[in-house]
């Protein structure tokens, strides 16, 4: 299953996007890249969510003008399909913004075994091996209060745990959280991971984010825009429940 579908599945309204895996005859990608709300020459999951919100009247068309291909003040199913195809295949004729290299986190000595890898494929293997399961965690899965939807459970490594306990305004490099995503079922379907790779958060660019290989990197706007509400981009209620 494509990662964008797994990420979007718990969000009401994204069921519309399921049909987007097959492009029907007559749908043509617009030159300005349908769905590229922020003009970075690519279409991300959060931009597809904005398009769906416009289509159901939960957001104005101005929230993503490139999603309204024909300029009629609305986003229709065919425009959502075009956006999904651009998310899967890229924006034809446009060069995406270069993804910054991910720095290596440098936490204090003896803490390296607590820091997840920041290579997308290696991180998935690390997660599937349950390498985070020894971390301090919320007492049980619970309904998400954020955009992930469904049922979730968050784990904190010792680095971020100690920083939160100390009431620090900023967390050190190596701070990491893993959120298990259950999507309403009984087993983990995916994870959302954040790892601080530099002591300076730099507006979110000092954090590495992962929610599947299709949504990974430093300073991802889809992640930082929500997590900026928390203390140094940690938007998890603390003390843990």
pLDDT of residue 28: 36
pLDDT at 92: 67
Q: What is the mean pLDDT of residues 121-149?
A: 90
170 burial level (CB within 10 Å; 0-12, 13-18, 19+): middle
Is the overall model pTM greater than 0.75, yes or no?
A: no
Examine the pLDDT at 76 and tell me if it is beyond 70: yes
At 32, the pLDDT band (50, 70, 90 cuts) reads low
pLDDT band at 164 (very low <50, low <70, confident <90, very high): very high
- pLDDT (average), residues 190-200: 95
Averaged pLDDT score across all residues of the chain? 79
pLDDT recorded at residue 116: 94
Q: State pLDDT tens for residues 78-120.
A: 888 888 888 887 876 655 555 455 554 444 443 446 899 999 9
Q: What is the pLDDT of residue 113?
A: 60
**Spatial distance between the Cα atoms of 192 and 177, rounded to a whole number of angstroms:** 8
**Distances from the Cα of 208 to the Cαs of 10, 11, 160, 223, in angstroms?**
23, 23, 14, 10
């Amino acid at each position: 299953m494509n990662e964008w579908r797994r990420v979007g599945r718990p969000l009401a309204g994204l069921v519309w996007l399921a049909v987007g895996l097959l492009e029907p005859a007559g749908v043509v990608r617009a030159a300005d890249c349908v769905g590229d709300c922020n003009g970075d020459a690519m279409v991300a999951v959060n931009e597809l969510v904005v398009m769906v919100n416009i289509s159901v009247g939960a957001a104005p068309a101005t929230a993503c003008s490139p999603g309204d291909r024909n300029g009629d003040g609305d986003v229709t199913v065919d425009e959502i399909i075009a956006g999904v195809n651009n998310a899967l295949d890229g924006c034809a004729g446009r060069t995406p913004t270069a993804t910054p290299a991910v720095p290596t986190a440098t936490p204090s000595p003896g803490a390296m075994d607590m820091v997840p890898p920041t290579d997308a494929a290696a991180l998935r293997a690390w997660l599937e091996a349950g390498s985070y399961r020894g971390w301090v965690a919320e007492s049980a899965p619970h309904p998400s209060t954020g955009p992930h939807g469904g049922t979730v459970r968050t784990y904190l490594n010792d680095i971020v745990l100690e920083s939160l306990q100390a009431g620090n305004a900023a967390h050190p490099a190596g701070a990491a959280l893993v959120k298990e995503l259950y999507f309403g079922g009984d087993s983990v379907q995916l994870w959302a991971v954040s790892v601080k790779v530099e002591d300076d958060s730099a507006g979110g660019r000092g954090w590495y984010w992962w929610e599947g290989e299709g949504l990974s990197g430093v300073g991802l706007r889809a992640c930082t825009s929500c997590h900026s509400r928390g203390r140094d981009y940690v938007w998890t209620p603390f003390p843990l429940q």
